[in-house]
Amino acid sequence: MWAWLFARHHGGKFILRIEDTDQKRFDPNALQTLMEALRWIGIDWDEGPEVGGDYGPYVQSERLEHYQQWARWLVDNGHAYYCYCSSERLAEVNKQKQAAGLPSGYDRRCRFASPQEIEQLAAECAAEGRKPVVRLKMPLEGETRFNDLVRGEVVFENKDVQDAVLLKADGFPTYHLAVVIDDYLMGITHITRAIEWLPSAPLHVTLWRAFGWEMPQYAHLPVMLNPNGKGKMSKRNPPRDAKGNIIPVMVHDYINGGYLPEALANFLIGVGWSFGDEREVFSVPEAIERFGDFSRISPANSALPAEKLEWLNGVYIREQLSLEDLAKRLKKPLQEAGLTVDDARLLKVAPIVQTRIRTLNDVVAMAGFFFHDTFKPPTAEQVIQKKMDAAITYRALEEAIPLLETVEPFTLEALHTVFSDLGQMLSLSNSQMFGVLRVAVTGQTVSTPTFETMEILGREETIARLRTVLGLL
Ligand code: ZN
């Protein structure tokens, strides 16, 4: 999201590239889901799948010839070498290193073998039906430094860095090789990626230098941690909120959960980045305006502020949506709950739920009753309010009916006055009197307010409902 804001701020191009070279982990359905999620939240791309561009294809598995060609170039020019070791040998090397208390990793046998030894190893490898991998010749001493846009100058000791595999035996590149070649060929100027890639950065810097290409700018960004601050958010091990409920990590869970794309965008942009002026609520265009550099990003990983999204979503529903827009968005959850939605009625319901719901889905529990085919009456216990009994509750409803028949006009204000007076006459507080009426007309204890609801239902429907409830008491 930040990379997109940065590109949009500078009038640059935002590129969507699909890195699918880890064939074991790649799920083709995931790509469609990912693109849907990006579009839903408002991220568009200037080049990439479904959009095209001058530097395609934008799917790495369709670019294998580039990687193979440049891997050969690296070997031919002394920056990389073929490694013929079997996975069994690599495992054995690691075991021995561990036993000797050394850090694990490849022992560089094939880098330093004599030409005769290489010939022998190559022959064995071929006889076993295996292909060699290509490994980077990482400098053995000295340091690799580069300037990170979030972290400033970063320094690595070369001796701590492995001769990483660049091209695998199956002809697929690793991330290290593919990302550098693609970033070069696609003319990338700025790379933003998660902090967990920082340890690989010296490999990439070494590759840029080996190729003799001008290196883009790197920004290694903080990641979102679980709400308790421990561990990175992951879908395999989903985080939980203070009450122990699972917090979804996939955008689709938020789409289905009744969240607004505007609120989720605001939320995601704000975790680890500050808008300034202590502002928590800002639009995407406002964030683009401010996102000229990476200086407002905190380098440290931040814990997910689990409650903030729901709060923000409520703010957007209350303050940012017109009633027409809100009504349009409420239709989907109501329909998905199996209700037949009348648009004119929904437009009347929208203002009375607007200040009371925090997700769009909340409308179903609170105001779904407006769209039931037949009235589902409450139980007697639900209608009877605090410090009341069945007799006085019955009386309140009984007296209410003739008043509903005659009150003019049938509006919120007039109803309020009439029933306030009735409550007084029966020695009931407004909360008791209005509570009885509210549960009676809505059929539920948590619902929209009494007189607004009556106004929408209309005189006849309101009276019919009270009569039904009266029969139950
Ligand atoms: Zn080897």
Average of pLDDT values for 152-177? Answer: 96
Average of pLDDT values for 257-285? Answer: 95
Q: In terms of C-beta density within 10 A (0-12 exposed, 13-18 middle, 19 or more buried), how is residue 173 classed?
A: buried
Ligand 1 mean position, distance from CA 164 (Å): 11
Task: For 15-33, write each residue's pLDDT tens digit.
Answer: 999 999 887 777 878 889 9
Q: What fold, for 380-472?
A: Arc Repressor Mutant, subunit A (1.10.10)
Radius of gyration of the chain (CA): 32
Average of pLDDT values for 247-258? Answer: 87
Q: What fold, for 1-12+34-50+223-320?
A: Rossmann fold (3.40.50)
Residue 186 has pLDDT above 80, yes or no: yes
Q: Do domains 1-12+34-50+223-320 and 65-221 have the same CATH topology?
A: yes
Residue 227 has pLDDT above 90, yes or no: no
Count of CB atoms situated within 10 Å of the CB of 49: 18
Average of pLDDT values for 126-133? Answer: 97
pLDDT for position 70: 98
Maximum CA extent, the chain: 109
pLDDT for position 161: 96
Average of pLDDT values for 309-328? Answer: 97
Please, are residues 423 and 432 in contact by the beta-carbon 8 Å criterion? yes
Ligand 1 mean position, distance from CA 18 (Å): 30
Ligand 1 mean position, distance from CA 83 (Å): 4
The amino acid that residue 67 corresponds to is: Y
Residue 7 has pLDDT above 80, yes or no: yes
In angstroms, the CA 419 to CA 71 distance is 83
Catalytic residue flag (residue 376): no
Long-range interactions of 449-456: CB distance < 8 A, separation 24+:
449/352, 450/415, 450/419, 451/412, 451/415, 451/416, 451/419, 452/352, 452/412, 453/352, 453/370, 454/404, 454/410, 454/415, 455/348, 455/410, 455/411, 455/412, 455/415, 456/345, 456/348, 456/349, 456/352, 456/370
Average of pLDDT values for 79-99? Answer: 96
pLDDT for position 324: 97
Residue among 95, 131, 159, 235 flagged as catalytic: 235
Q: Give residue 337's pLDDT band: very low, low, confident or very high (50, 70, 90).
A: very high
Ligand 1 mean position, distance from CA 127 (Å): 16
Q: Give residue 231's pLDDT band: very low, low, confident or very high (50, 70, 90).
A: confident
Ligand 1 mean position, distance from CA 74 (Å): 17
In angstroms, the CA 266 to CA 287 distance is 8
Q: Give residue 144's pLDDT band: very low, low, confident or very high (50, 70, 90).
A: very high
Q: What fold, for 65-221?
A: Rossmann fold (3.40.50)
Q: How do the domains of the chain map onto residue ranges?
A: 1-12+34-50+223-320, 65-221, 322-367, 380-472
pLDDT for position 242: 77
Task: For 407-432, write each residue's pLDDT tens digit.
Answer: 999 999 999 999 999 999 999 999 99
Mean pLDDT of the chain: 95
Ligand 1 mean position, distance from CA 124 (Å): 12
Residue 233 has pLDDT above 80, yes or no: no
pLDDT for position 78: 98
Enter the pTM of the model: 0.89
In angstroms, the CA 400 to CA 414 distance is 13
pLDDT for position 95: 95
pLDDT for position 34: 92
What's the CATH code, domain 322-367? 1.10.8.70
- pLDDT top residue among 227 and 296: 296
pLDDT for position 235: 75
pLDDT for position 205: 98
Please, are residues 223 and 196 in contact by the beta-carbon 8 Å criterion? yes
pLDDT for position 470: 96
Count of CB atoms situated within 10 Å of the CB of 233: 16
Q: Give residue 240's pLDDT band: very low, low, confident or very high (50, 70, 90).
A: confident
Q: How far is CA 227 from CA 181, 224, 265, 303, in A?
A: 37, 9, 18, 5
In angstroms, the CA 128 to CA 295 distance is 54
Percent of the chain residues topping a pLDDT of 70: 100
In angstroms, the CA 463 to CA 42 distance is 47
Residue 241 has pLDDT above 90, yes or no: no
Ligand 1 mean position, distance from CA 60 (Å): 26
pLDDT for position 243: 80
Average of pLDDT values for 102-112? Answer: 95
